[in-house]
Structure 1
C-alpha cells in the first residue's frame, strides 16, 4: 500500500481531534528511520509512530511495544532535547500533499517558550522526518533530520542542521475538492492510452494506487480502457470521495489472505463474504492493523528466506559428502583382493625370495587357475609381504563397516534436511521460529545468545474438515509432526504420509473413516510434501499405533508397518476447510 495524501488527510483529522493539547511524555527511536512519540492527554497515553522507511513510510497511532536500541540514536536525542515535555498545538497538512506538520510549544534552556515543528514527509524513498524551529518573520531553520540531505544528494534543497527549511516541490496535480470533468478530460487527453487507475494517480493530488483501484472498481467496467472513455463516471466517483472525505464518512477495513499482501480499503468496505476482512472504526486503528500484518509478513518472508538459504546450503554440502563417501565405499569393494593376495603368497612361500618385486603364482580362486601377478615390496620377506596384504585387507574391511555406517547417517541427514525444506515452504511465522529452534538444537544453526527469552509463539497444525465432516490435521514442521503423531493423536486414528519422500504427518481423527475422507487426507499429505508439484503421488496410510519413532531418530523421522498405499493428486486445501 502507498500511504497517499488522502490517507494522510484522514489520519491528520483524527490526530488533530485526539492529540491537540497533549504533552510529550517519551520519545523513542526503535530503528534507524522510525520514531515513536508518547503523548498524554486527559490521563490517557497515545503512541504516535512516524516512519521514513522507504518501504513503509507512514504516520499513525501505534498500540504495540517496540524494542529500542540500548543507546538512543542522535536524532532521538535531538528530539528529546527539544520536544520532551512540549505541548502539541496543532497537526497540519499541505493540501493533500504527503507532508504532515506537528506544531509544538516547547521551552528553551532559559525557560522561554519556543515553537518547534516536526515535519513528516512521507514520499517513498525520499521520505524524511525533520525537526525545525521557527521565528517571527524568519524562515524555518532545520535543527536536524532522520536523513541528512546534502548538495550531492539533491540539487533542489539541502536538509542539514542550520539550513533553511524548504518543502519538497509541489506536484501540481488536480485538487480533489475542486475538480471538474473538463479539467480531468484535458489532463487525460495528454496521457495516451493508459489504464484509468494509472491515470488517476498521475492526475489527482492525494490519490495513490490502492485508492485509485478502489475508485475505478466502483465506477468502471473491468478491462484496460482508455481513461477518456470513463471520464464522467470517474468524475462522479471522485466527487463522492471528496464529499465522504470532507465529512469523515469512511469505512476502513483490512483484508489479509494467506499468501497475499494485506489490503486497506477506505471508502468501499471489503466484501462481507471475505473471511479475511476486518472492519475498524478509525483510520488509525486500520493502519495499525494493516502495518502490523505487513510487518508480520515481512518478518515471515525474511525468516523463510534465511532458513531456506541455510537448508539448501546444508543439502548441497551433504550431497557432496555423500558422493565422496559412496565413491570411497566403491573403492573398498576391492578389499577382498588383498586377502587373496595374502593367501596366495602364503601358499607359495617356498617359491619366493626376499628382493623380488613381484610374484607370478597360480590363482587357486580362479576356476582355470590362471596365473596372477602380485606386486611385492623387495625390502620385505615373502612372509612380511603376505602379512602386509592381510593387514591392508583387515583395515579396509573394518573401515568399510565404519564407512557404511557413516553413509547411512549422511543419508539420514539428507532426508532430514529435505524434510526441513518442505516444512519451511509451508510454515507460518510461529512455525518458522519453531523450525529455527529445531535446527539450532540439531546443530545446523549456531545458537544466538539471548539476554531474555523471546515471547513463545505457539505453532498449531493445519486443520481441515473432510467432505464427511471428519477432522484432519496436518503437521507443519518436524517437531509438530512428532507432537501430532506421537502425543496428540489417538492410537486408532489414521496416519498418512507421502511414500518415500519428505512431507507432513497427516492425522484423520477417525478409526474407520469413509474412503472419501482417506483420499482427501491423502491429497493433503501429498500437497504438503516434496511431491506437491507432481501428479498421481503414492501416499501410505496406517493406524497411528503402527507408527514408531526409532531411538535417537531426528525430529519427524518415524517407521511404520501395516500400511496401505493409494495414489492421489496433491492438494493444499479442501472445500470444507475449517
Structure 2
C-alpha cells in the first residue's frame, strides 16, 4: 500500500483531535529513518511513529516497545534539543498533498518561546523528516533533517541546516473535494493505454493505486477498458469518497491471506464471512496493524532466505563429504584381495626366497587353478611379505567398519538437513524462528543472545478439517513434528509421512478414518514434503503407537512399523482452520 494523500488526511484528522495540546515526553529513533515521539495529554501517553523509509514511509500512532540504539543518532539528538517538552499546537496538511506538518510551541536556546515545525514528507524514495524553525512571513528555516538533500541531489531545493524550507513541488492534480464529471472527462481524454485505476492516480490528488482500485471496483465491478467508459460513475463515487473523508466516516479493514501481501482498505469494511479480514474503528489502528503484518512478512521472507541459504550450503558440503566417503568405501572393497594374497603366499612359501620382487604362485581360489602374480617387497622375507598383506587386509577391514558407520552418520545428517530445507520452505515466521533456534542448538549456525519471541509468535501446527469433518494436523518443522507425534497425538490416531523422503508429520485425529479423510491427509503429507512438486507420491500411514524415536536421534527423525502405503497427488490446502 502507498501512503497516499487521502490516507494522510484521515490520519491528520485523528491526530489533530487526539494530540493537540499534548506535550513531548520522549523522542526515540529506533532505526536510521524512523522517529517515535511519545506525547502526553490528559495523563495518557501516545506514541507517534514517523518513518521516511522509502518502502514503508508512513505516519501513524504506534503501540509496543521499541528497541533503540545505545547511542542516539544525530537527528534524534537534534529533535530532543528542540522539541523535548514542547507543546503540539496543530497538525496541518495542505490539501491532499503528502506533507504533514506538526507545529510545536517550544523554546530556543535562550529560553524564549519559539514555534518549531516537524515536517513529514511521505513520498516514496523522496520521503523525509525535517525539523524547521518558523520565521517571518511564514518562511521556515531548516534546522536539520533525517536525510540531507544537497544541490547535486536536487535541482529544485536543498534541505540542509540554515537553508530556507520549501515544500516539494505541487502535483497540480484535480481536487478530490471539488472534482466533477466534466473535469474528469477532460483529464481522461488525453490519456492512452491506461486503466481506470491508473487514470485516477494520475488525475486526482490524494488517490493512490490501492484506493483507486477500491473506487473502480465500487463503481464498476465488471471492469472497464478505458476510464472514459465509466467517467460518470467514477465522478459519483469520488463525491461519495470525498464526503466520507471530510466527515471521517470510514470503516478501514486489513486483510492477510496466506501467500499474499496484507492489504488495507479505506472503503471496504470487514465482513463476518471473510476470516482473513479485520475491521478497525480508526485509520491509525488499521495502519498500525497493516504495517505490523507487513514488517512480519518482510522479516519472514528475509529469515527464510537466510535459513534456506545456510541449509543448502550445508547440504552441498555434506553431499561432497558423502561422495568422498563412498569412494573411499568402494576402494576398501578390495580388502579381501590382500587377504587372498597373504594366504596364497603362505601356501607357496617353499617356492619363494628373499630378494624377489614378485611371486608367481598357484591360485587356489580360481576353479581353473591358474597361477597368479603377486607383487613382493624385495627387502622382506617371503613370510614377512605374507604378513604385510595380512596386516594391510586387517587395516582396511577395520577401517571399512569405521567408515561404514561414518557413511551411515553422514547419510543421516543429509536426511536431517533435507528435513530442515523442507520445513524452512513451508514455515511461517514463528516456525522459522523455531527452526533457527533448532539450527543454533545443532551447531549449524552461531548462537546469539536474542529476546524470547512474543506469545503471538509461538509456532503451531497447521490445522485442517477433512471432507468428513475430521481434524488433521500438519507439523511445520522438526520440533513440531516431534511434539505432534510423540506428545500430543493419541496412540490410536493415524500418523502419515511421505515414503523415504523428508517431510511433515501428519496426524489424523481418528482411530479409523474414512477413505476420503485418509486420502486428504496423505495429500497434505505429500504436499508438505520434498515430493511436493511430484505426482503419484507414495505416503506411508500407521497408528501413532507404531512410531518410535530412536535414542539420540535428531529432531523429527523417527522409525515406524505396521505401515501401509497410498499413492496421492500432493496438496497444501484443504480448508485451513489455523
Normalised to the residue count of structure 1, the TM-score between the two structures is 0.97
Contact 2:91 2:101 in 1 (8 A): yes
Distance 1:363 1:140 in 2: 105
The farther-off stretch of 48-57 and 180-189 is 180-189
* Matched ranges for 1:224-235 at <5 A: 225-235=225-235
In structure 1, what is the equivalent of residue 559 of structure 2?
Answer: 559
Q: CA deviation at 1:337?
A: 1.0
Q: CA deviation at 1:4?
A: 0.3
Distance 1:216 1:273 in 2: 23
Distance 2:370 2:354 in 1: 24
In structure 1, what is the equivalent of residue 204 of structure 2?
Answer: 204
Contact 1:185 1:231 in 2 (8 A): yes
Distance 1:91 1:281 in 2: 21
* Matched ranges for 1:66-145 at <5 A: 66-137=66-137, 139-145=139-145
- Match of 2:261, SS? coil
Verify: 1:350 aligned to 2:357, yes or no. no
Distance 1:361 1:208 in 2: 93
In structure 2, what is the equivalent of residue 509 of structure 1?
Answer: 509
- Match of 1:230, SS? helix
Q: CA deviation at 1:73?
A: 1.0
The farther-off stretch of 2-11 and 424-433 is 424-433
Q: CA deviation at 1:163?
A: 1.8
* Matched ranges for 1:274-353 at <5 A: 274-353=274-353
Q: CA deviation at 1:237?
A: 1.3
Give ranges in structure 1 of 5+ residues lacking alignment.
none
- Match of 2:510, SS? coil
In structure 1, what is the equivalent of residue 439 of structure 2?
Answer: 439
CA deviations over 1:34-81 (Å, ceiling 9, x no partner): 010000011111100000011100000001211111111111111101
Verify: 1:406 aligned to 2:406, yes or no. yes
Contact 1:467 1:576 in 2 (8 A): no
CA deviations over 1:356-412 (Å, ceiling 9, x no partner): 222222222111122222222223332222222222111111111111111111111
Distance 2:410 2:152 in 1: 56
Distance 2:154 2:95 in 1: 24
Q: CA deviation at 1:162?
A: 1.7
* Matched ranges for 1:22-101 at <5 A: 22-101=22-101
Q: CA deviation at 1:229?
A: 1.6
Q: CA deviation at 1:297?
A: 1.0
Distance 1:152 1:379 in 2: 85
* Matched ranges for 1:154-173 at <5 A: 154-173=154-173
Q: Over the residues paired in the alignment, what is the CA RMSD in angstroms?
A: 1.6
The farther-off stretch of 51-60 and 190-199 is 190-199
Contact 1:419 1:503 in 2 (8 A): yes
CA deviations over 1:494-526 (Å, ceiling 9, x no partner): 111111111111111222222222222222212
Distance 1:575 1:342 in 2: 70
CA deviations over 1:135-171 (Å, ceiling 9, x no partner): 2237322111111122222222221222221211111
Q: CA deviation at 1:226?
A: 1.4
Distance 2:441 2:190 in 1: 63
In structure 2, what is the equivalent of residue 189 of structure 1?
Answer: 189
* Matched ranges for 1:479-558 at <5 A: 479-558=479-558
Contact 2:224 2:230 in 1 (8 A): no
The farther-off stretch of 547-556 and 219-228 is 219-228
In structure 2, what is the equivalent of residue 20 of structure 1?
Answer: 20
- Match of 1:137, SS? helix
Distance 2:67 2:279 in 1: 28
Pair 559,3 (structure 1): closer, same or farther in 2 beyond 3 Å: same
In structure 1, what is the equivalent of residue 151 of structure 2?
Answer: 151
Verify: 1:359 aligned to 2:372, yes or no. no
Q: CA deviation at 1:223?
A: 4.2
Distance 2:194 2:454 in 1: 49
Q: CA deviation at 1:270?
A: 4.0
The farther-off stretch of 526-535 and 439-448 is 526-535
- Match of 1:177, SS? coil
- Match of 2:334, SS? helix
Distance 1:459 1:576 in 2: 15
Contact 1:215 1:238 in 2 (8 A): yes
Pair 441,493 (structure 1): closer, same or farther in 2 beyond 3 Å: same
Contact 1:39 1:45 in 2 (8 A): yes
Distance 1:446 1:269 in 2: 46
The farther-off stretch of 162-171 and 43-52 is 162-171
Figure out how many residues of one structure are paired with residues of the other and give that number.
577
Give ranges in structure 2 of 5+ residues lacking alignment.
none
Q: CA deviation at 1:489?
A: 1.2
CA deviations over 1:223-271 (Å, ceiling 9, x no partner): 4511222211211111211111112111111111122111111123245
- Match of 1:27, SS? strand
Distance 1:346 1:163 in 2: 101
- Match of 2:409, SS? helix
Contact 2:463 2:576 in 1 (8 A): no
Contact 1:28 1:37 in 2 (8 A): yes
Q: CA deviation at 1:31?
A: 0.8
Q: CA deviation at 1:272?
A: 4.1
